Chain A
Amino acid sequence: MTKYFMNVWSAFPDWSQVLLLNLGMIILILVPLMLSVAYLTYAERKIIGYMQVRIGPNRVGPKGWLQPIADAVKLLLKEIIVPTKASRFLFVFAPILAFVPALAAWAVIPFTDTLWLSNIDAGLLFVLALTSMGVYGVIIAGWASNSKYAFLGSLRSAAQIVAYEIAMGFALVGVLMAAGSLNLREIVLAQSGGVHQWYIWPLFPLFLVYLISGVAETNRAPFDVAEGESEIVAGFHVEYSGMTFAIFFLAEYANMILISALCAIMFLGGWLSPLDGILPAKLLAWPVLGTLLGNGMHWLLLKISFILFCFLWFRATFPRYRYDQIMRLGWKVFIPVTLVWIGVMGAVMFLTPWGFIFH
């Protein structure tokens, strides 16, 4: 039986074998990702519910576990309304444009030491380039809707994303200075040797800037003036309904997961266990405990989940920023902080004997 399948497989030409293998791996990444996006919406409602002393969704399925499925079916069955005089093609294209970069960036994320879709040299730049393209979905949605509210929302969002992207990029410059590489896998490996080697400690200001900019980049509360229900009804996606709206929603959550994964990889040691290099090799050879305490994908998932929890926590805790305060924070606080820290890092690394702090 296996032999038969092998024969069928080798009958394909070489290039199609590569194509099929890659497609299979992409599906292996995307299906769990889409499921986690769906259940992140459920987790958000539950966690914020408990934080506000409510129960959250608890009607559909046991403890409300089928709520995301019910939401998806509901949105799928709704009519997609295109406003009059809207640019029809761009109106439908915008949600796709918002969603695709959030998925495409997963191509370079390393899950373990040996597990990734592609291990390219400029991985960090690739991620930055793709996340910077997410803003087009918002801008085009606002413009194509032919609505003043949507337009205002997209202008706000575009200005905000451009402002925070600079701080985010500078925060990552610190990481690549410390790691000496743009390759995500090598950045993680440079942090091996236990929890005290993670970049969160020497680069703590950059970590904070990155995390907060990440919240602002994804237009999440408290930086969600692009939606601003009380001022511009729902901002850029006010005219969207049904599946087109659902895709904007999915894009926001997929972006959150992506930012959390990047944060885990850059500052929290990716798949590395916090006890890596501290535990003796004998303990790691134990059957179950050794696998759990050793390096592995479960650590990456744990770190991503923790940062996602922080995202939800922020939303439940902070009131929305005023627009001019958002801009002030981005341009006048974060960018100078990152620039100063990069200068300090460079000076310490090359002029003083304490450069090992950052390595």
Chain B
Amino acid sequence: MNQLIDVNLFYGAFICYGVSMVIYFLSFWKRTGKLAVAGNMILLFGLIMQIIGLVIRGTAAQFMPITNIYESLNFFSAVIVIFFLFVEWKFANRVFGVFILPVVFLLMAFSSLPSTSKEIVPLIPALQSQWLVWHVVLSFIGEAAFAVAFGSGLMYLFREKAKEGSFPARIFPDLKTLDTLTYRAIAIGFPIFTLGALIFGAVWAKYAWGDYWSWDPKETWALINWIVYALFLHVRVIRGWRGRATAWIAVIGFLTTMFTLFGVNYLLSGLHSYA
């Protein structure tokens, strides 16, 4: 019974996010912020549904609902939406939705596929660990910050192409703001990702598999992902690179993140078969 409720709430959130994304696009197209307010409300409604769904599911499973790809994607998209709402409020700009919400929509679409198992199944022994919670929760918070950097990086690249005074240029935040946002999102996401994905992942691996590092494809790709963002910080802080180059690194970094999350599971084989 419980399971039906949470799955339906997640479907509801998916629909809300989809509708909200379409409204944000329309608002962008029609050049009016009023529509986006409606989009924002629907998004918020979807987020509330998703959070209630996560709480119900967590209560039913008696564990943080992050133990398979279905639960993880719901948790991940909820965190991105929370970050997005904060950014939108902070910068008082409705354009962010056009660049960040498609990511949320795609994640939710993937989680809603019939092939994604939605059943609550009890945890196998390897997953019965508090380190799993810390590892997954912090990894996704870090990656959600990377999603924001991806959005602002893309916006930077679009804004840069637009002619001064033209339509997109007028409603986009200025380049400096976007550049700073990209940096700040990565500066927040990077240490959290380091701690959650790499360090806590290694601690958990030590407890569960005996080795802190096994060069499992997922581990390797998480490390590559880390190196890409480390590169971003180096070139920006030490070499003083700004703008287009760092925006590209933020975009590539998030694509690497997505590959680490999905590509490794579906294209490569390894120990992380469950998520």
Bind each other: no
